[in-house]
C-alpha cells in the first residue's frame, strides 16, 4: 500500500499501530522523517493513498519530536498522541490533531511532571486521557498522568523503586474508572510490577515479579472483559525466557 521514503514529504520508521476513523481511513505516526526529520502524523486510505498531515519540528517549543506511540480518537473525530521528545523543555509532549492536520500542543513535559512518554493514551469515555512517561516525575522514575481534551494536565502518580518504575506501555481501563498497567523495573524484587490506579490517582501495587514468575514486563495488559487481565514478561519463568501471566482485577 505505501512504502515510506523519508524526506520532507514523507515519514520514516513507523513504530505504532494504526487507528481507523468511521469512514475507513487510517491514521498513524512515524518516529522520524518529515520536513524536519523529527517524525510525522499521516493518513492513509484503504486504497493506499498517503497524506502527510503533520511534520514535527522538534526544536520549536510549540511542537514535539519523535512520536513512538500511536493515536487515539475522541468522540468528535480528532486524534490525540504523544511525542517522546520536543516541546518547550525537550522532554516530550501531548498533542491533538484533526483529520485535516491541524495540530495543537496540549502539554509540554518539564521532567518534574514526566519525561519521555512512549505509550499511547487511553480514554475514559468523557474525553479525558490517561498516559505514562518512562521517566521524570518527583523521583525521576516515571509517572502516570491525566490530561483533558483542552490540555488541563494532572500528575496522578510518580513512581519509586518500591512500587515500580519505568512504565513503557499504555494503560488499560476496567470499565469502572480504574486503570491497570505494568512497569519494566522496580517492585519488591526489582523485576517489574503490575499496578492499578484510579482516575483520582490512588495507586495500588498488585504484583511484584520475582523472576520465577516472570521479569521485566515491557508490554501492557489486555482484559477479557470478565475481570481478568493478561500480559507478558520478557524474561523470567522456568527457563528465564519469558512468561504469560493472568492477574484478576482488584
Mean pLDDT of 62-75: 92
Over pLDDT 70: what percentage of the chain? Answer: 100
Which of the two residues, 236 and 176, has the higher pLDDT score?
236
pLDDT band with cut points at 50, 70 and 90 for residue 118 = very high
pLDDT(62) > 90:
no
- 58 three-class SS: coil
> Model-level pTM?
0.93
Burial 150-178 (b: 16+ CB within 10 A, else e): eeeeebbbbbeeebbbbbbbbbbbbeeeb
pLDDT digits (tens, 9 = 90+) for 138-171: 999 999 999 999 999 999 999 999 999 999 999 9
CATH of domain 1-158: 2.120.10.30
Instruction: Please state, rounded to an integer, the average pLDDT across all residues of the chain.
Output: 94
Query: Where are the domains positioned within the chain?
Result: 1-158, 171-250
pLDDT(249) > 90:
no
- Residue 141: per-residue pLDDT: 97
- Residue 56: per-residue pLDDT: 95
Q: Which residues pair with 146 in a beta bridge?
A: 130, 154
- Residue 91: per-residue pLDDT: 95
Mean pLDDT of 218-234: 92
Residue 192 contacts residue 182 (beta carbons within 8 Å): yes
pLDDT band with cut points at 50, 70 and 90 for residue 61 = confident
Amino acid at each position: 500500500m505505501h512504502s515510506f521514503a523519508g524526506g520532507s514529504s514523507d515519514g520514516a520508521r513507523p513504530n505504532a499501530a494504526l487507528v481507523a476513523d468511521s469512514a475507513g481511513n487510517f491514521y498513524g505516526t512515524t518516529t522520524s522523517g518529515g520536513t524536519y526529520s523529527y517524525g510525522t502524523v499521516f493518513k492513509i486510505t484503504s486504497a493506499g493513498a498517503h497524506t502527510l498531515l503533520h511534520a514535527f519540528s522538534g526544536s520549536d517549543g510549540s511542537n514535539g519530536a519523535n512520536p513512538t506511540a500511536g493515536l487515539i480518537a475522541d468522540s468528535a473525530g480528532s486524534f490525540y498522541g504523544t511525542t517522546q521528545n520536543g516541546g518547550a523543555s525537550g522532554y516530550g509532549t501531548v498533542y491533538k490533531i484533526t483529520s485535516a492536520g491541524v495540530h495543537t500542543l496540549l502539554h509540554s513535559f518539564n521532567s518534574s511532571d514526566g519525561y519521555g512518554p512512549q505509550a499511547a493514551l487511553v480514554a475514559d469515555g468523557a474525553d479525558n486521557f490517561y498516559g505514562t512517561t518512562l521517566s521524570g516525575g518527583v523521583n525521576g522514575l516515571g509517572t502516570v498522568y491525566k490530561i483533558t481534551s483542552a490540555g488541563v494536565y494532572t500528575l496522578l502518580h510518580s513512581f519509586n523503586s518500591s512500587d515500580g518504575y519505568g512504565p513503557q506501555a499504555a494503560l488499560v481501563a476496567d470499565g469502572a474508572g480504574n486503570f491497570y498497567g505494568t512497569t519494566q523495573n522496580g517492585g519488591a524484587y526489582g523485576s517489574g510490577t503490575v499496578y492499578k490506579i484510579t482516575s483520582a490517582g490512588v495507586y495500588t501495587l498488585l504484583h511484584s515479579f520475582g523472576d520465577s514468575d516472570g521479569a521485566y514486563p515491557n508490554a501492557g495488559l489486555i482484559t477479557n472483559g470478565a475481570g481478568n487481565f493478561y500480559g507478558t514478561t520478557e524474561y523470567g519463568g522456568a527457563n528465564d525466557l519469558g512468561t504469560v501471566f493472568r492477574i484478576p482485577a482488584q
